[in-house]
Structure formats: structure tokens, C-alpha cells
Amino acid sequence: MPQLSSRVQLFTDSVIRRMTRICNQYDAINLSQGFPDFPPPVALRERLAQVAADGPHQYAVTFGAPNFRAALAKKQGHFMGREIDPETEIVVTCGGTEAMMCAMMTICNPGDKVMVFSPFYENYGADAILSGAEPIYIPLVPPDFGFDVQLVGQGFRAGAKAIIVCNPSNPCGKVFTRQELMDICQLAVKYDAFVVTDEVYEHMVYAPAEHVYAAALPGMFDHVLTCNSLSKTYSITGWRLGYIVGPANVIEAARKVHDFLTVGAAAPLQEAAVTGLTMGDEYYKDLREMYTAKRDFFCDGLDRIGLKHNVPAGTYFVLVDIGEFLERPCFKDWTDLDFCVWMIKNVGVAAVPGSSFFREPVNHLIRLHFARGEEVLKEALDRLSRLPEAVAAQERACK
Ligand code: GLN
């Protein structure tokens, strides 16, 4: 058997996506991989049906259909408070996943160092390996997930080419403050490096937190590659529509990478999604209110059950502390992954083990998401309320 590349030995499949497959196998409630169980806005679905009849059905322009890019530039420029040129400052990708991979391949040479906050969205680990970059991890320290800016300075002094900032942050729900972003950005400018942001949860930010766009900070546009997607904002994770916004010279290079990676995002879906991009401010306000209510409902439920958890300022993820269970003798050799698989089978709720997000040896957290309808969330909380009982039963079986 011929040898495979050494790079594929360096990472596993995505644990997030694996949990969904195991969850489906046991017909559990999926609070692992983050995607909504409710449909996209009706206007988008109607437009999609029309596009099925009218087209387009052939390739769009590789870096994005002109009308899609124009609508995107307008919507995003409005929120960022800076005009974006759709002709030169955007490349449309197949989801936020390709946006990040493409950004990394555009700016990194093999061996380049890139700073990544830990905990981090697991894709960045594979992105670094596939682009040849060497991660330097900067801890986000609970309970507030603050960080030591000196470490960021040190990373840049050690030659880091870029820093990845997931804001709002998956999985810890941190929303970076203006000051934190300014500190990071000033260092990036000083050391002539890039800030690569992942802002797919930009509209899921809960008061009093506010989303600040790093690219829109004074003097920063030339240093920031903003990776983003329509998945979360319009509940269309399966449409795989993402993009990078950045300075023209970088986007020109990113368009080449993207062209040879995937040629382009699906033309009919770009066409249909224009309907989402042209919706008014009310849509984003309603979305924020809906998710605020879900967050409060879910966190209150966890409190009633007595499970310890963080309260996210953004995103739809909550980290739940399972340390008290794993400390019991019966569970002492279990990993958090073992616990999540057991929880799918015995409690009927799927979560993602925290260890897939942390560089540090963290084994006591699991990530749940609340992008579910109220009935499903209620049922999930009901099942989770039986977690202590299921743990006790497991302990009895152990003896
Ligand atoms: N961002 C989502 C999560 O963290 C899933 C994204 C994906 O699987 N592509 O669960």
C-alpha cells in the first residue's frame, strides 16, 4: 500500500461532525454540531424555489456572482461602518470553513507561526497543519476568558505571521471588547502581521456585549482578513456560503487559492441568498432577540438542574462542567469523549467534548448549543435533568 501524506497523520476527523454522526445513530437530541433545527426565513426559501426554475445552474464567477458580492458588500459595509468594494475586496467561498483555510493558505508559508487562542474552534488546528503553519497558543482564561496581551506581543516578537481571532468566540462565547481588539491590532501593525478573524456569529451577541469589527478599527483594514459566512445569520448552514473581506492585494491572491481549491460556491444558492442579504435591520434585531431568549431559557434550565456552566456573551454555545461526574471512581479513566458518547446512549443528548477545543489538558467541559426550537430545548433539558440519575446508575453497574 503506498504511503499517504504525513500531514493527514497529524489530525483526526472533526470531533464536532463525528458527534453528529453518533447522535444520528442513536436518535438523540443533537446539541453537538452547531446548526439550527428551524428553517431559513420564508423569503429565502421562496426565492430558492424560483431560482430552481429560473437558474442560474452553471458556474458563477469563481470569486462570487457579481450581484451576490454587491449585496454582501452593502450589507457588511453597513454593519462594519466602512465601504467595501465588491470588485476587489471580497472573495466568496464555500462556507466559513473554506474562507479560513483559504486565508491561511494565502498568507502562510510552511513553518510560519500563527497565534491561536485556546479554547479554539477545532478547524483552526487542521487549517494550520494543512497550510504548514505552526500554532502558538494563547490561553483564554476562564471564567471571563480574558488573555494576557503580553503573550500576544511575545508571539509577534517570535515572528508570528498572524493571529486568528474568533469573535464571538466558539466554543467559549467570549465577545472581544474594543480595547482587546485594539491591543491585538496595534501589535499586529507594529510587527507587520495579519489579524485573521472568524466572525460567523457576528449577529449573535447579547446585550450589553457589542460586536466590534476588527477590520473597521482605525487604520486596520490592510491588516485584517475577515472570514465570515451566511450559515448562522440566515440559518442556511447547508448552503455553504462564506467569504473573506480584506485589502485588495490580499484578496487578489486569496481568489487564486480559492479558484483552485473549489472553483466557486454554488451559483443557485448565491442567487437565492441575495434575498437574505437585502433584508432590513429588523431581521438582525429579531435574530438577536430570538437567540437571547434561547440563551436565557437554556441557561436557566441548566441552573435549575444544577449543572455548572458559563453564560455566553455571544454565539449559541454553552460550556457545561462535568468535572463532578468524572471525579467519581467509576469514571476516573474516562475521557470527556467517552462521557459524551455515553451521554448520547444513556441520556439521549449529544454534546462535543471540550478537549477538542483546548490546547491545555482540559477534560471536564462539554459544549452544548441552543440553536433549537423551544420544544426540543425543553426536552433536552428534561433529559439532562436525568444526567445525575444516569451517572448513579452507571456507578452501580460499575461495582
Ligand atoms: N461551527 C459549528 C460548530 O462549531 C459547526 C460548523 C461545522 O461543522 N462546519 O459546531
pLDDT in tens, the chain (399 residues): 999 999 999 998 999 999 999 999 999 999 999 999 999 999 999 999 999 999 999 999 999 999 999 999 999 999 999 999 999 999 999 999 999 999 999 999 999 999 999 999 999 989 999 999 999 999 999 989 999 999 999 999 999 999 999 999 999 999 999 999 999 999 999 999 999 999 999 999 999 999 999 999 999 999 999 999 999 999 999 999 999 999 999 999 999 999 999 999 999 999 999 999 999 999 999 999 999 999 999 999 999 999 999 999 999 999 999 999 999 999 989 999 999 999 999 999 999 999 999 999 999 999 999 999 999 999 999 999 999 999 999 999 987
CA of 168 relative to ligand 1 center, distance in Å: 14
d(CA 274, CA 171): 29
Q: What residues are in contact with ligand 1 under a 6 Å CB criterion?
A: 16-17, 33-34, 97, 121, 170
Same domain as 331, residue 255: no
Task: Examine residue 105 and state whether it is found in any structural domain, yes or no.
Answer: yes
Residue corresponding to grid cell 479513566: 333
Beta bridge partners of 318: 368
CA of 34 relative to ligand 1 center, distance in Å: 5
Same domain as 26, residue 107: no
Task: Examine residue 1 and state whether it is found in any structural domain, yes or no.
Answer: no
Helix (H, G, I), strand (E, B) or coil at 98: helix
Residue 122 Cα: closest atom of ligand 1: 4
Same domain as 289, residue 275: no
DSSP E strands, 59-180 = 90-94, 113-118, 134-139, 162-166
Helix (H, G, I), strand (E, B) or coil at 223: helix
Same domain as 91, residue 135: yes
Task: From 23, 121, 227, give the residue whose CB has the most ligand 1 atoms within 8 Å, as the site to mutate.
Answer: 121
CB 365 within 8 A of CB 326: no
Same domain as 47, residue 36: no
CATH number of the domain at 267, please: 3.40.640.10
Residue that is last in its domain, among 279, 304, 336 = 279
pLDDT, residue 356, reads 95
Residue 95 Cα: closest atom of ligand 1: 9
Task: Examine residue 399 and state whether it is found in any structural domain, yes or no.
Answer: no
Same domain as 115, residue 84: yes
CA of 183 relative to ligand 1 center, distance in Å: 28
CA of 96 relative to ligand 1 center, distance in Å: 10
Domain count, the chain: 2
Cell numbers found for residue 309: 456552566
DSSP 314: B
pLDDT, residue 399, reads 75
Residue corresponding to grid cell 497565534: 115
CATH number of the domain at 315, please: 3.90.1150.10
Cα 345 → chain centroid: 26
The alpha helices in 65-201, defined as continuous H runs, are: 66-80, 95-107, 123-131, 149-157, 178-190
d(CA 219, CA 39): 39
Gyration radius from the chain CA atoms: 21
Task: Examine residue 15 and state whether it is found in any structural domain, yes or no.
Answer: yes
Helix (H), strand (E) at residue 368: strand 365-369
CA of 328 relative to ligand 1 center, distance in Å: 31
pLDDT, residue 398, reads 87
Residue 171 Cα: closest atom of ligand 1: 4
Task: From 170, 227, 236, 317, give the residue whose CB has the most ligand 1 atoms within 8 Å, as the site to mutate.
Answer: 170
d(CA 266, CA 180): 36
CA of 121 relative to ligand 1 center, distance in Å: 8
pTM: 0.96
Domain that holds residue 154: 42-279
Residue 352 Cα: closest atom of ligand 1: 10
| Backbone dihedral region for residue 312 (phi beyond 0: left; psi -120 to 50: alpha; all else: beta) | beta
Task: Examine residue 57 and state whether it is found in any structural domain, yes or no.
Answer: yes
Same domain as 224, residue 150: yes
Same domain as 239, residue 99: yes
Same domain as 192, residue 72: yes
Same domain as 73, residue 203: yes
Residue that is last in its domain, among 222, 246, 279 = 279
Residue that is last in its domain, among 229, 264, 279 = 279
Same domain as 168, residue 29: no
Task: Examine residue 352 and state whether it is found in any structural domain, yes or no.
Answer: yes
Same domain as 58, residue 155: yes
CB 106 within 8 A of CB 100: no
Cell numbers found for residue 223: 491588516
